[in-house]
Structure 1
Amino acid sequence: MKRLFHVSDIHFGAEDRAALDWFAGRVAAEQPDAVIVTGDLTMRARAAEFAAAQAWLEGLERPITVEVGNHDLPYFNLWARFVTPYRRYRALERMIERPLDLPGLSIVPLKTTARFQMRLNWSKGNVTRRALSATLAQVEASPDGHRVLIACHHPLVDTGTRSTSRTRGGRRALEALAAAGAHAVLTGHVHDPFDIMHPTTAGPVRLIGAGTLSERVRDTRPSFNEIRLVDEAIDIRVREMGAD
């Protein structure tokens, strides 16, 4: 059995300190095989927020992969957003979009953020053909027999939560990922957990969303997903602070 903790939208700068301490305590006590963070480590991509995020993540002392969220791109400094959008991530470089290979399991990143979009709301998702090609190459390179989980920030299709992703290229990406053999897509962004089977022409794909550990809650208290993989099964348990 493999056990993963899937967390998202931590938003240092608007973090819930009690929720962070609770999650870190669960990691220390239960020692999951890996921690998957599906974006929005920070609130405004400030240097102090990234420094706090780095210290917290390193304190977990587990294998970690971190996806970039829309809040992790510079918000006020347009020059930095367009020219050096990931400069403040450099201290976290070894964790960012890091593929994880565990026995029988591959966790593959997919970039869904954009510096610029031809629409007013740049917070929504966008999967470029280049980003999708890079992810598909990693999926195809996964060892035979591995369960393949895709990790990205934005849900590729909307799943009925109060917040939306409206990810451009998301349906195309989902079809391609299913055809390549991906079993599930792990995301964040909407701040509420979900778990659905989505049909594609290549067969169903599991869509799994995590909640938030920030003060910016929606319909669910601060939470994370515990993912257990036993043989062919993927079991999801939403762990809510105050109920766990």
Structure 2
Amino acid sequence: MIRLFHLSDVHFGLEDTAALAWVADCVARERPDAVAITGDLTMRARHREFAAAADWIRGLGVPVTVEVGNHDLPYFNLAERFLDPYRRFRALQGAVNHGISLPGVAIVPLKTTARAQLRLNWSKGRVARRSLEACLGAIDALPSGTRAIVACHHPLVETGTRGKALTRGGTSALSALAKRGVLAVISGHVHDAFDILHPTAYGPVRMIGAGTLSQRLRATPAGFNELIVDEGGLTVRARHDQPVTTTGLDL
């Protein structure tokens, strides 16, 4: 059995300190095999926000993988955003892993961010051909029998939450992932949990979203997902630091 904690949208700089303390306590007591954070680790990609995030991650004491989110690209320094948008994010490499391999399970990254797009809202998702090819190549290279969980920031299609991803290239990406039989696609961005099956020409793909650990709440309290992978498949439980009163979004 493999147990993962799936976090997203921590937004250091506008983080919920009580929620982070609660998660750290859960990790210390329960010792998951790994923690996957699906983007928006920071609020404005400031150096001090990344430094605070790295300190918190190191304190967890378990393997952690972090995917890049739209808030993790420079917001104020446009020259850096266009010339080297992931430089500050790469500085985290001393604290995290990029993709994780566990017994029989691998977390494979899929980048859905872009330094700029041909639309006004650059915060929305985009799956570039190169990013998809890198993800598919990593899946194809896995040892036989390894089940792949793909981790990205933006949901690849809309999931019925209040927040929207509007991910370009997401539908075709899901079809390619379905063809490879991925166990699930985990993401964040919309700040509410979800767990749905999305149909494709190659069969359904399970899409799982984690909520937020920041002050930027939407329909549900701060929380994260607990994923258990065993011979029976994948079980997901959304965990919150307060009771959930909104129906229809909890797992």
Q: Which TM-score band (shorter chain)? A: over 0.9
Q: Which moved more, 1:206-215 or 1:195-204?
A: 195-204
- The alpha carbon displacement at 1:91 in A equals 2.7
Within a 5 Å distance, the mapping from 1:9-20 to structure 2 comes to 9-20=9-20
SS in 2 for 1:227: strand
- Give the corresponding residue for 2:249: none
Instruction: Verify the 8 A CA contact 1:54 1:91 in the aligned structure 2.
Output: no
- Give the corresponding residue for 1:165: 165
The one-letter amino acid of 2:239's match is R
The one-letter amino acid of 1:130's match is R
Percentage of matched positions with identical amino acids: 61
| Matched pairs, number | 244
Within a 5 Å distance, the mapping from 1:115-134 to structure 2 comes to 115-134=115-134
Specify whether residues 65 and 211 from structure 1 end up closer, same or farther in structure 2 by C-alpha distance, changes over 3 A only.
same
Q: Following superposition, which runs of at least 4 residues in structure 1 exceed 3 angstroms of deviation?
A: 94-97
- The alpha carbon displacement at 1:95 in A equals 5.7
Alignment partner of 1:27 is 2:21: no
- The alpha carbon displacement at 1:181 in A equals 2.2
- The alpha carbon displacement at 1:39 in A equals 0.1
Matched residues in 2 for 1:45 and 1:68: separation?
11
- Give the corresponding residue for 2:239: 239
- Give the corresponding residue for 2:248: none
Matched residues in 2 for 1:216 and 1:145: separation?
39
The one-letter amino acid of 1:67's match is E
Matched residues in 2 for 1:124 and 1:86: separation?
17
The one-letter amino acid of 2:61's match is E
The one-letter amino acid of 1:230's match is D
- Give the corresponding residue for 2:229: 229
Instruction: Verify the 8 A CA contact 1:68 1:97 in the aligned structure 2.
Output: no
Give the alignment's Cα RMSD to 1 decimal.
1.3
- Give the corresponding residue for 1:148: 148
- Give the corresponding residue for 1:39: 39
Once the two structures are superposed, residues 110-163 of structure 1 have per-residue CA deviations (whole angstroms, 9 ceiling, x without a partner) of 000000100000000000000000000001111111211000000000000000
TM-score (normalizing by structure 1):
0.97
Matched residues in 2 for 1:144 and 1:243: separation?
41
- The alpha carbon displacement at 1:98 in A equals 1.1
- Give the corresponding residue for 1:103: 103
Q: Tell me, which stretches of 5 or more residues in structure 1 are unaligned?
A: none
SS in 1 for 2:148: strand
